[in-house]
Chains A and B, each alone.
Chain A
Amino acid sequence: MTVAIDRATGQRRGEPGGRPGPLSRLKQSYQRYWYAYAMIAPVVVVLGVLVLYPLARGLYLTLTNANSLNSARTIGANHIEATYEFIGFDNYADILWGPTSYDRFWSHFIWTIVWTALCVALHYFIGLGLALLLNQKLRGRTFYRLILVLPWAVPTFVTVFGWRFMLADGGVINAGLEALHLPAPLWLEDTFWQRFAAIMVNTWCGVPFMMVSLLGGLQSIDSSLYEAAEMDGASAWQRFRYVTLPGLRSVSSTVVLLGVIWTFNQFAVIFLLFGDTAPEAQILVTWAYYLGFGQQPRDFAQSAAYGILLLAILIVFTSVYRRWLNRDEQQLAI
């Protein structure tokens, strides 16, 4: 009946020795686990209805040529039935190696990878640097901390509009650059600078989360380790390399994974910063949205296919990442 387990050993506490027969095992297992199943039932139901069912329909849609002209729709009082057809894997083939697939998919794919890698690296290293600074005994560090989490406290959709004012041609950033006699790029029009601006804004938005998490990780490192290291004559760098970094490992692996997932899926920053004006700066998520909802006619099938491809990329990445972390028994925290 008892279902609590000992977390250290993974063994059930008070488990009786010996194996009973199959029938009583089934009965015992039912008695043992029905609580667990009853408790997870609400989430299972919700996931089934709100996630798996739509996902299955989405998968089916990717195998059709559905768009807003042939889907079921209601115009006034008339209801028009769906007329789209099953076309097999044509959508995927078209996206991945059809004509112009480079312009439509691969260029966005490459940019998405670059975007994710750069953003997460910037988030992590700036966040780590600030966390290290804030972890010292420093006058006013609570105050700094309060200000530094501000980008996280204000909703993204608000701050992105603030950035749009600043980045606009003639906005404060270009005015400042001109005052310094530096070239003033067209942040919101020129492809390279659009990408630059997107990374800058997203970095600004994402650093506080990393900083706070890593600061939590730093504070949980046992200070006696530092004292021991200092006793052994370790330099500051050595203490950082052999005490701080290993101590941060489980936090780091989690926040980096979360960071990759969130950045890869980051919709608001790019969508709100550029709207439809920057086809080259769209990452796959915003591009998929554009295909499905930003153009006429709306291409539901291709948009859904992009969604499935994106999910597949993330799942593959996460599996590889977990395996890579687990290679020497380092369990990923999540």
Chain B
Amino acid sequence: MVIYTVTIEDDGSSYRCFESQTLLEGMESLGKKGIPVGCRGGGCGVCKVQVLTGSYTKRVMSREHISESDEAQGCVLACRVRPTSPIDLRVVGAMKKNVCRAVEPSGVPSLST
């Protein structure tokens, strides 16, 4: 079984991800954090990352969240991508801004992009 190191540049953390797993599955199955987890189906966009170095295979992703130019710049949904080499990535996605955040105590950082 082939396994690669995935490094999340935002906090310098890393985890090991099997070639057979998506980047999101690899992170979640080890109880790691760093990439926001949503639908795990390429539909909601919260797990959006930019791959800085490394190669991968990808499946169809929602165009609402990954434009063609995003894709050209290595922006992908972590739940739709499997590594074929060690990966360095940056987190782009976030849990979207919603009405509730607006009424939470001030000081809660806005996670909207």
Q: Do A and B come from one complex?
A: no
B binding-site residues for A, Cβ under 8 Å: none
A binding-site residues for B, Cβ under 8 Å: none
